[in-house]
Every structure is written in C-alpha cells, then in structure tokens.
Structure 1
Amino acid sequence: METSSPLLCSLFFFILTHAALCKPNCQPDSCGPTGLEIRFPFRLKDQPDWCGYPGFILSCKNQSQTVLSLPNAGDFVVNDIDYVNELIFINDPDFCLPKRILNFSLSGSPYLAPYPRTFTFLNCSSDYWIHYYMMYPTEPISCLSNNQNFTVVAIAANFMIDKCQNMSAVSVPIQDDYRYRTLVDLTEDLQLTWRGPNCGACEFKGGTCRFKGDGEQIGCFNLPNRGLPRGAKYAIIIGGGIPGLVFLIGLLCYTCGRIKAYNTRGSNLDPELSNPTINPQRALVMTGLDRATIELYPKTVLGESKRLPNPNDGTCPICLAEYQPKDTLRTIPECNHYFHATCIDEWLQMNATCPLCRSSADGSTGLTPCSSTILSSSPSSSSAS
C-alpha cells in the first residue's frame, strides 16, 4: 500500500495536467435568442476563464441585454460589437447618457476612446435659452434640464455662450460624426476600442481567435480553405489530362502518317531517279559544262556601234542589262544567241543548254550536254566597228 500511494498520486497529477492542457473549445454565446454573439476576446460570466481574455467579461440583464461593467463608470448596455475593427458600442440603460458622461472614466479597464471629443456642459436659464435657440437651434439635454427653470446643453470646448453657467468639461468617446459640430445631443452610443488581444486580422480572414493551449499566447484557428479541395484538384487533373494526352498522341500519329505518305509519294514519282545505274544519261541532267569547254564558245567584243553580226536583242537575256561598247559577249554557235560572257559562263557551269531556246550543243532540244565533236570549232574573236 505504501508503494502504491505515490503511484496513484502521480497518476492523479497526470490526469489533472492533461485535462488542463486539453481545454475544450468555447462556443459563441449570447444573452437570449436575439442577443449579441459573444465570443473571444469577450466571454459571459458563467463561461470558463479560457473562453475570454482577462478583463473582457460581459453579463446578461433581463435575459436580453448584454451589459459591460466599467470599474470607474458603472454598467452600460452593449448595443454592438465589431470584432474585425475591434470596436464596442455602449449606452446608458436608463436612457440618460449625458448624465453618465459627466462622471465617465475608462481607468482600470482595457478599453480606450478612439475618437475622444471634449465638450462643455452649460446650465442656462430657460428664458434666455429660448432667446438663444432662435439664433442657434439645438435641442437641450432633456434628462438634465428643467424646462421651467433651466436648460442644460453640451457645446464644443472652444465655444462659449454668455449668461450660461459652466458645469463641467469632459472628454467623451463619442463617434467621429460630431467632429465639426458645435451644439450636440449626446444620446448616441459611446464608441470604445480595446488594447489587446489583436484578433481583428484573424476575424477578417474568417478564423477563430483564442488561446494557444494553456498559455497566454493568442492564435488564429479554423481558417477557411480558400483553394480548391484536393478531390476537385484530382478531378481537374484527370478530366483534363487524359483527353489532352489522347489528343497529343493522335496529333503525333497524324503528323507521322503525313510524313510517311509524303516520302512514299516522292519515291513513286520517278523510280529511275532513285537508281542512277538504270539510265546514266539522265544523271547528267543536273550537271553543266566545265570551264575548258565553255572557253571554246566564241567571244565577241562590241565596238562603239554596238552592232552584232546577226540580228539580236540589244539586252542580255540573263541579266536584262543593255549591251554597252567594250562589253564582251559569248555566243552559243548552235543557236547563235548572244549573252554577256560572265552571265552565260555562270549559266553554262550549271546548265548545258541555251537559256533562251533550251537547245543543246548538237542542236537538239533537251538536256544532254554538248559532245566534243560539237565544240570542236575554234574560238573566234571579232570586233564590230
């Protein structure tokens, strides 16, 4: 028994520690079915401590009103909470907020006034205020005034009214709408913000702001997944990838078939071209004359008159330039056509026919090169005067 007691104590301590570390998540609450939603950093009094931040405790009144208790200002009704912008809007449950403002203080609380405005409360005689109201229409603070004897109004701190008693100058956390007004009716909600925790960014993203574990650090949890679910991504990949792959394979097969058909058609056009041993003479079609053979063709140097021995065009059929004196021409004797020597020499190196009439050296029409018997005539050089 003595040895089991420490073991039981250790087990009990472990269970308590584990229970403390595994705190359940707090669900949003409210004061009645139509009340405001209360969630972190706020909590209701009957909720566990970890459901809210220290100092952010709210309570319920009459099962419908949400109440905020300020240490040095009393109880106020909460009309709205802006969790994203970290604002809380409060008012007096007895509908006389100006009376509460006269002694309003945020000391001892985690709240701040985002737009503090300084106002001066004035007590004016009712008779005088009727006269003044004709020039500057404004409503008196009814819950502080006695219409038969005196009227209380609130004005900006830098504006005074003669014949009125200065009651008090206070800083009011009122909304920014009254920045440029002189006379105001302080009945709208007071607007407060808070110092820590910073949950506005988490609320804006749609997450849940709360404590991390059992520590005091704040975390953002349950952020919505803004991307596509994994199943949807797989469906898009399968639905789009397989048809795309089939299309790519079909395109490759079609391209290969077209290339194969083109090669087959090209080989069937002239079978003799694929085998040069069948007709060796046809193989000479793609060759011209050598330089020595070309030099056997007659040359003529034009004189000043540019007259040729036989009638011919006055321009070179190859370069289409007009003949000039001193130009050197070369003649193909079989057809007696003249050309610039440089033009026809380049032509005959690639083609063994006349560029005009396509006649060969032996006078026949075709692509057979000139034989040595045709080119046996000696070159002649004459100058036309």
Structure 2
Amino acid sequence: MDRQHKTIAALVLILSCLDVLVVSSSEICTNSACHPSEPSIRFPFRLQTVQPKECGYPGFDLTCDSTNLTSLQLQNTSPPQRFSVQAIDYGSQEIWLNDPNNCLPQRLLTLNLSGSPFSAVSYQDFTLFNCSFDYKLYRFNPIACLSGSGYTIVATSSLEAVWILSSSCSFVSTIPVPVQWPYYEQVWSSDLSEDIKLTWGAPQCGKCESKGGRCGLKSNSSNLIECKTQHGLTSGARYAISVGAGVPTLLFVLGLVCYICGRFKACRRQSYPVMEFTSNLALQPTLVSGLDGATIESYPKTVLGDSRRLLRPDDNICPICLSEYKPKDTLRTIPGCQHCFHAACIDAWLPLNAACPVCRNNPKHSPPASELAPPSSDNV
C-alpha cells in the first residue's frame, strides 16, 4: 500500500504541474482607480502617472483631479474640454461623463466630438430659450447655472413647447445632446444636467470583455490589440500550450492510472485467493453542497434602474447566462464578494453549489447577509 500511496501522490503532483503549465502567464497591466468609489480603469483607458503608456490606447488617457475624481480630456475637440467620468462599461464600450463644474449645459453649447475617439450613443435635439419673464414658466425646469437676475434659460425638445416659448422668449440655440437613452417621446422641459453617454468604435474590445477576457496592445505595437485571458494568455497561446503540453502529459497520466489499477487488482487477487464476497451496504446518496432556500432568500436583491448603475459599473453582464443587464432586471448579490447575478440564474446555482461562480468564494464562511450592505443601485 505504501507504493500505491506514493504513486497516487506522484499522480496528483503531475496533475498540479499540468494545471500550472496551462494557466501560468506573463503579467498583464493591472486595474487602477482614482478612489475606491471611482470607476475601475483598465485598457483601453489608462491612468496617467500610474499606469505605463502601453497599458492604454492612444486618446484614452485619464487623470485624477485634486479631489480624486476621474477626469477625461477629450482630445482634438474644439474647444478642448475636460469632463468628469461617472462610469465606464467596458463590455458595451460606453462611458458616462458630466461637467466637474456642475454646468453641463454650458459645455453642451460648444461640444464637438468630430475630432475625438468618442461619439454619442444617441442624440436628442434640445432648443434653448432666454425668457425675461416668469410668465408661464412654472411648467418649465430652468437651467440654473445659465440663468441670472431677471432672466431664465429653459430647454425643450417639444415642438409644442417651442411654439409657446417663441412668443415670449428669445431663441438661444438648438443643440444635439448625447442622452443616456433615446427618447421616443418629446421632452417638455429639461435642465440638461443628466450624464451624457458616449461610446467608442476603436479599439474593439467589447466582445473580449463580454467573454471574461481583457484587451491589450500587442507586443511592439502602438495600435494592434489582442484579447488576453484572466491569466494573461491569448486564446491562441492557451490552445497551443494545451495541445503541446497537455496531450502528451494526459496520455502519460492515463497510462499511469491503468498501471495503478492493474497493480491494485493483482494485489487483491493475491491477498484473497479463495474468498469471494459481495457488499450488502446501500450506496450512499450524493451530498449536495449547496444552500437552502431560506439562506438564498436572505441574500440582498436589487431592481436595476434606468441607468443600470451598480456597485461595480463594469460588471454589466450576468456571469452565468452571459446576458447584459437591462433596466428593471432583478439582481441578487452574494455577500462578502459582492458579485451580482440575475436573481433567477444565481437562485438555480446556489442550491447545487454554495460557492460564488466568479471568485469561488463560499458564502457559508462569510458574514451573514444582514451584516453586509447591499450593492448600490440608482433605482431600487
């Protein structure tokens, strides 16, 4: 039996070495952030003075301002403008911006994205009026940062509101606003203070991000990209390693297992040359290491709002069904690691396996859900 134990130990060591061989890789650029509450920064963005130049794509440099807020300087815009970054969705390649001086409408009056790597996801035309009287303005939401003593600036996308305001107010401008969601109905009045949503066409990293990979620049290249796994290997490199090293090792392991089984049977025949017996013991049922319904229901649930704002803005896809979260979706959060999933998906997983599907953290060893704060949401 000592020889068998040593052989089995050798087999375990071989399998461990094979696993290390497949997943080991060169170090890739790590995530960064201006503050724990700020968006996570990774390729194609990079944080200047913190991340190396090769960790970002040209035109995607970010900085931290004096209050540790994430800031983006839109390159080649006329005039150049700096915005505060509210959130980044790497899977859908979208970024939410606002004015650090709390007067976004002033920026929108002169915003021109034609020379930048970003474009609007959806535009909505708004007409601005300068009204010197309070007459009928109770129905309109004034733009406080553009208004002053004796006059009020209002904005609308409604043709009816434009007709009403034209009779008593002065026309200022009609501007295209990069809205967060396309409005299928005309907006009677808006102060234009909501975040603007932009997207980028290059580099194309959304598909890689959606599959759990990470984009990065190819070696010795300024604009060619490749998709890396979480361990830093490209999919082609992982396949080559698996085939080149895994197949011969697997054949050796199979041969070793067959040899062990043959030796074990031979030992049994030598130890028991005459006796034959059968076991009357019933097979033990397979134990399910999942969670009970009461424990699962104690995990916090969140109804996603229209802006899909989560504790982790880059986690916009359910890791189980790989579907993008949509407004009004019900999500459930695993305590401790704070990973989110569709409630229906994780409710089907946890009765079979108590560990988190993403980080393998076991909530059984985590603090009770009542002691953990639920993930932040914009509309519960």
TM-score normalised by L of structure 1: 0.49
Q: Distance in 1 between matches of 2:137 and 2:32?
A: 50
Q: Which residue of 2 aligns with 1:144?
A: 146
**1:48 and 2:52 are equivalent in the alignment:** yes
Q: Percent identity?
A: 41
Contact in 2 for aligned 1:157/1:169 (Cα 8 Å): no
How far did residue 185 of structure 1 move? 2.3
1:86 alignment counterpart = 93
Matching residue of 1:166:
171
Per the TM alignment, residue 36 of structure 1 is displaced from its structure 2 partner at its CA by 1.9
Structure-2 change in CA distance of 1:122 and 1:217 (3 Å): same
| Alignment check: 8 A CA contact 2:140 2:188 kept | no
What is the match of residue 209 of structure 2? 203
Q: Matched residues in 1 for 2:225 and 2:85: separation? A: 24
2:122 alignment partner in structure 1 = 115
Q: Within 5 A, what are the aligned runs for 1:1-385? A: 25-46=28-49, 47-62=51-66, 64-70=68-74, 71-72=77-78, 73-128=80-135, 131-133=136-138, 137-146=139-148, 148-156=149-157, 158-159=159-160, 160=162, 161=165, 162-176=167-181, 178-180=183-185, 181-215=187-221, 216-223=223-230
Superposed displacement of residue 120, structure 1: 0.9
Letter in 1 for 2:174: A
SS of 1:152's equivalent in the other structure is strand
Rg comparison, structure with higher value: 1
Query: Are 1:32 and 1:63, in contact at CA under 8 Å, matched by a contact in 2?
Result: no
The residue that corresponds to 1:381 in the other structure is none
Answer yes or no: is the 8 Å Cα contact 1:84–1:201 preserved in 2. Answer: yes
Cα distance in 1, alignment partners of residues 67 and 45 from structure 2:
17
Give the structure 1 partner of residue 315 of structure 2.
Answer: none
How big is the alpha-carbon RMSD for the aligned residues of Structure 1 and Structure 2?
3.4
SS in 2 for 1:184: coil
Deviation for aligned residue 1:111: 0.3
Q: Alpha-carbon deviation of 1:25? A: 2.8
Deviation at 1:81, TM superposition (A): 0.4
Alpha-carbon offset, residue 55 of structure 1: 0.6
Q: CA deviation at 1:164?
A: 1.3
Alpha-carbon distance, 1:190 to partner:
0.6
- Hey, what's the Cα distance between the residues in 2 that align with 1:67 and 1:207? 25
Inter-partner Cα distance in structure 2 for 1:202 and 1:96: 36
Question: Aligned letter for 2:218?
Answer: K
Query: Residues 207-258 of structure 1: CA distance to partner in whole angstroms, max 9, x if unpaired?
Result: 1110121123211111589xxx9999x89xx79xx8xxx9xxxxxxxxxxxx
How many residues end up aligned between the 2 structures?
A: 213
What's the secondary structure of 1:120's corresponding residue?
strand
The question of whether the paired residues in 2 share the 8 Å contact of 1:34 and 1:64 is answered with: no
Gaps of 5+ in 2: 1-25, 236-241, 266-380
SS in 1 for 2:134: helix
Distance in structure 2 (CA, Å) of the matches to 1:144 and 1:178: 24
Question: In 2, Cα distance between the equivalents of 1:49 and 1:132?
Answer: 51
Relative contact order higher in (CA < 8 Å, ≥ 6 apart): 2
Shift, 1:80, TM fit: 0.4
Alpha-carbon distance in structure 1 between the residues aligned to 2:27 and 2:220: 11
In the alignment, the residues of structure 2 paired with residue 26 and residue 63 of structure 1 have an alpha-carbon distance, to the nearest angstrom, of 25
Q: 2:154 corresponds to which letter in structure 1?
A: V
